[in-house]
Structure 1
Amino acid sequence: MTDRISKEHRSWNMSRIRGKDTKLEVLLRSLLHRRGFRFRLHAPGLPGKPDIVLPKYRTVIFVHGCFWHRHEGCSNATMPKTRTEFWTEKFHRTVERDARKKTELEALGWQILTVWECELFADPQDVIKTIENQVVNSI
């Protein structure tokens, strides 16, 4: 099947997909800050450069998009209809990398929390309460 848009336009579209400071991250950071949490962003010294690091609680938070990180059972984790072999491999590598980084962080003594796009958009207050409970109970 032929792509509906030109190669140049597809490249332009893909270049607009952000890796840092996404709407999800900014929303979660705002909620955390309002609740009194202080954090670091994208700590380069930690495996996977976690999106949010709460050093006081030795906790890292990854903010995952359901499509890119394959949120199991989520309607947002769809498979593109074209180039399925490419996408299957790409998603497989992403999930493997996520698992590897999580294992490395746990070995270093960090608690890992994952916030999914669909959960954050559906009920941000529930997500922040869950984070508070997990972080405060880990002390």
Structure 2
Amino acid sequence: MDRLTPERRSWLMSRIGSKNTKPELALRSLLHGLGFRFRLHRRDLPGTPDVVLPGRKTVIFLNGCFWHGHACKRNKMPKSRVDYWGPKIEANRQRDAKKRKLLRALGWRVLAVWECELKDLSRLSGKLVRVLDSLHC
């Protein structure tokens, strides 16, 4: 059972943004600090990637563990409206796969950074440096 009233839950859910979120700002700050230059939210690319590194022909999606169905401890299925959330998260995962496929068909490399990875910035920065440095065009 949800601890919040339906009205309070609805209000909280309505406040969730899709751009310039705290996790996204943390990722951008990390990339910038590592010396990577990028563009944001390119609408001409499938799925409007969160971060685009044109020189490396690479896009990065920052995925929320809950919203995109990551298999980590941060992803806990709500106890209320299970009949809604299960299909919703699965549809998000299918949409993510479709975006990746379209981008790869256009010659882009696709990286996913999970929200939980931002909890260990040194590990994430090592991963990003290894992957992105190997992709320089």
Task: Please report the TM-score for the alignment, with normalisation by the length of structure 2.
Answer: 0.92
Matches within 5 A, 1:54-69: 54-69=53-68
Matched, 1:31 2:57: no
Mapped to 2, the partners of 1:102 and 1:61 lie a distance apart of: 10
Give, in angstroms, the shift of residue 125 of structure 1.
1.8
Distance 1:44 1:12 in 2: 28
Which sections of structure 2, spanning at least 5 residues, go unmatched?
none
- For 2:110 and 2:38, the matched residues in 1 are separated by 14
Identity of aligned residues (%): 49
Once the two structures are superposed, the pairs formed by residues 75-86 of structure 1 within 5 Å of their partners are: 75-86=73-84
Q: 2:130 is matched with which residue: 124, 130, 133?
A: 133
Shift of 1:10: 2.9
Deviation per CA, 1:16-73: give whole Å up to 9, x if none. Answer: 111111111101101111111111111100011000000110000111111111112x
Verify the 8 A CA contact 2:68 2:92 in the aligned structure 1.
Answer: yes
1:6 to partner: Cα distance: 4.5
In the alignment, residue 135 of structure 1 is paired with which amino acid? L
RMSD: 1.5
Pairs aligned (count): 136
Partner SS state of residue 67, structure 2? helix
Equivalent residue, structure 2, for 1:113: 111
| Unaligned ranges ≥5, structure 1 | none
Deviations 1:81-133 (A, max 9, x none): 11111001100110000000000001011111111111111x11211221111
Alpha-carbon offset, residue 2 of structure 1: 8.1
* TM-score normalised to structure 1 length: 0.91
Q: Which amino acid in 2 is paired with 1:32?
A: L
Counterpart AA for 2:127: T
Give the whole-Å Cα distance in 2 for the aligned partners of 1:6 and 1:78.
Answer: 19
- State the shift of 1:11 in Å: 2.7
